A and B are shown apart, each in its own frame.
Chain A
Amino acid sequence: MLSYALRRLVSLALSLAVASLVVFLVVEVAPGDPARYMLGTGAQEDTVAALRAELGLDRPRVERYLAWVGGLLTGDLGTSYTYRTPVAQMVADRLWVSLPLALFALALSTLLAFPAGLYAAARRGRAGDVAVMGATQLGIAVPNFWFAMLLVLLFAINLGWFGAGGFPGWSDPLAAIKALTLPAVALALPQAAILARVLRSALIDVLGEDFIRTARAKGLTRFQALWRHGVRNALIPVLTIVGLQFSFLLAGAIIIEQVFFLPGLGRLIFQAISARDLIVVESVVMLLVFAVILVTFLTDLAYAWVDPRLRRRR
């Protein structure tokens, strides 16, 4: 197991190195001069040259790459041109919204999906299954921003239990969690629907396996067999989906952030792209790449935890 984790860790480091190079080169080969982009077409030659010097664009590429990677490693992400603040600080502020929101939504989606998937699989083909599957079909079909608007209408405007948007910061944790609740629910519902369907079909596959029959012959009830022997064997596809969902939730919540006026990563990257703030774009993209690779690493570890057969693979 330890050896497996070490091997995955080496592959994680290599992926990060390659990704950093790709991100750097993509920004590098993008047509035009970033400095000129930022300043607009009417800018003076000497202003552009000053900005190029400030951004370090006049130095050789290798040197700039190494400086950038060095900055990434030490937490110095440079200074945003448009906001005139350190990128690291901006990203950290946004991450304090996006990361809790993604985790919150993921937890909700898993909590909803497991009982629903288990129930549907246990009552396969009966009314309960049909009802749950119908609900998940709806959950997948309806876009999450529409859910978001319905939630605002009901819980913020009619009932007044939650605010309709905005984020008060973490100085009052209860208020912060309250502000994230509706967005998390809106994000979680479609994800839960997908996860419940994946879990159900994985469980139904497992229920046809011989070892479930063995479990029944040992005296386990139908549900005990499903719970003790079925779930763990059905987890691999579920973990894959959970891993993908986390990566999506971290940066893909942009519409929901917009609906609820949340200062999250999604909005930051959107604003940075609109303003051609390439330093911010570069750093945030690299951060997201890091998050995705890290999640993949954790998913790989979870696979091995779930299935001992995977621990010895090369």
Chain B
Amino acid sequence: MSLLAIRDLSVTIGGRPVLDRVSLDLAPGEILALTGESGSGKSMTALATMGLLPQGARTEGAIRLDGTDLTTLPEAALCQFRGQAMGMVFQEPMTALNPVQRIGDQVAEVLTLRGAPRAEARRRAADTLARMGLDPERVPPSRFPHELSGGQRQRVGIAMAVAARPRLLVADEPTTALDVTTQARILDLLVGVVRDEGMGLLLITHDLAVVHGRADRIAVMQTGRIVEEGPVARVFAERRHAYTRALFAASRHRPALGPARTYGPLLDVAQVTRDYPLPRPHPFAKARKARALEDVSLTIRAGERVGLVGPSGCGKSTLTRAILGLERPDAGSVTLGGRPVRADRRDPDLRRRMQAVFQDPYGSFDPRQPVARLVAEPLHLLGRVPDAPDRVARALTAVGLAPEDGARSIHAFSGGQRQRIAIARALVTGPDLVVFDEAVSALDVRVRAGILDLIAGLSREEGLAYLFITHDLTVARGLCDRIVVMEAGRIVEDRATEDLFAAPAHPATERLIAAAPTLPAQHPSEEERP
């Protein structure tokens, strides 16, 4: 008998259908991957299973856990199931933990809630945390979430979900917010726990490569429906549904970059060092420092496409901030076209020549202004611009939107479209260099493929030079002539992309290549298809 049986589950929220007759089975000890892009209904399926749909949701059909239909249970009875019979791991480890409670207490709460005595709950919570790879010496249960890294927090999240040894574990994009190295470790942990304890795992992810080699079966969702389902090997080989094929194509998509036409040096980062003060243990202690950047040097030529890759905390963000002149280095210099980039001086012309696109397409816009105003924002750097509306229209066209879109508000656009608008905003001043800071990390595969094509096209047609910052080597590979690898505040490798992949010279590079999730080699029959 299956552990979880979802039958003809339909959900509407405020009259809008989000799930349409979804049926799924999950056996004990099995890992079922649920995949699809944003808005396909993956997360809604997970929340419906947990009985945590937003208010105003109406559910039809059945969700049976060990034979009990959860949809007919009253809220009080559902609370008994949550945590006890089914646990859930969420996407955002930075916000999923209570910031004012110790991690040990947060895990222990799952047990005290079921009547376990406090001391015993604490002990079992400490055991669970240790089992999740949090060394009690270095990360004791008395820590608060803000004292942990993203990966460590996600381990706490998993510990909470599995502390009461539930039979079903639901993990909603558990590694999407983590860098590739951490992602690989967390996935291995999840799979290990599930296999050891014989739990069923419903693993929700938009990343097909994550599924490969880990899940037993896969279900592909599109617009609230399951369009293909079966053992991973079979679905990967057959790809019966057009949508599955499209997802695959997007996952392995390589933009057509074309040869680079490079000219003289444009950006020069010379021996930059940056320290951050550490908190003092007491007011009279000697000030301590953490070195975020150590003697970093880097040159980008006009028209060149450079990737900057490294795990979280390697100094990428600090270097980005130094390059953009948002932060002053303690030593060394940054120059653009021979002019010093300085955090403490206003230099509109320099700003005009260097623009940036950031990760979060939702947080980086003022929601009260129409798109045309948002895109026109950097134009004040040029002084009086009589042809501002034309420039905005050209920038919007260049990123694949219509000039008329300028009149609409930012709410009307999806994540991918917003990222296009962010690129338009960067392009409007006609910059020589654009810094893309994790600009596609928050996007799902098909949208990401579109943005990568757009960036490649801008390079081909406009000769745009860019610095593409990412934690994912695979993405940088398709988009950059040269890749700079950072680790622990230093540049450990700076070489042409293909050389780097052919023979990585530094262990850090090898680790990044090994951690990047990969899809299986192309199925032979697919090559022949038109």
Contact = CB atoms under 8 A, between A and B. Distances in A.
A2 B283 CA distance: 10
A308 B98 CA distance: 11
Given A309-B144, A312-B279, A221 B79 contact: yes
A7 B282 CA distance: 9
A6 B99 contact: no
A272 to B, nearest CB: 40
A210 B282 contact: no
B76 interface: yes
B121 to A, nearest CB: 12
A221 B76 contact: yes
Nearest to A212: B98
Q: Which of B96, B99, B100, B146 has the most CB of A within 10 A?
A: B100
B522 interface: no
Given A220-B113, A308-B144, A3 B283 contact: yes
Given A213-B52, A232-B100, A308-B146, A7 B95 contact: no
A312 B288 CA distance: 14
Interface residues of A, number: 29
B95 A210 contact: yes
Interface in A129-187: none
A6 B282 CA distance: 9
A309 B146 contact: yes
Contacts of A213: 52, 90, 96
Contacts of B87: 217-218
B90 A229 contact: no
A217 B101 contact: no
Which secondary structure dominates where chain A touches chain B?
helix
Contact of B283 (A6, A232, A233, A307): A6
Interface in A93-137: none
A5 to B, nearest CB: 10
A211 B282 contact: no
A13 B282 CA distance: 18
Shortest beta-carbon contacts, A-B, top 10: A219-B83, A210-B95, A219-B82, A217-B88, A218-B83, A308-B144, A312-B279, A3-B282, A211-B98, A210-B96
Interface of A: 2-3, 6-7, 10, 209-211, 213-222, 228-229, 232-233, 306-309, 312-314
17 contacts: A2-B282, A3-B280, A7-B283, A211-B97, A214-B96, A214-B97, A216-B82, A217-B82, A218-B109, A218-B110, A220-B79, A221-B79, A229-B101, A307-B99, A309-B99, A309-B100, A312-B279
Interface of B: 50, 52, 75-76, 79-84, 87-88, 90, 92, 95-101, 109-110, 113-114, 144, 146, 157, 160-161, 279-283
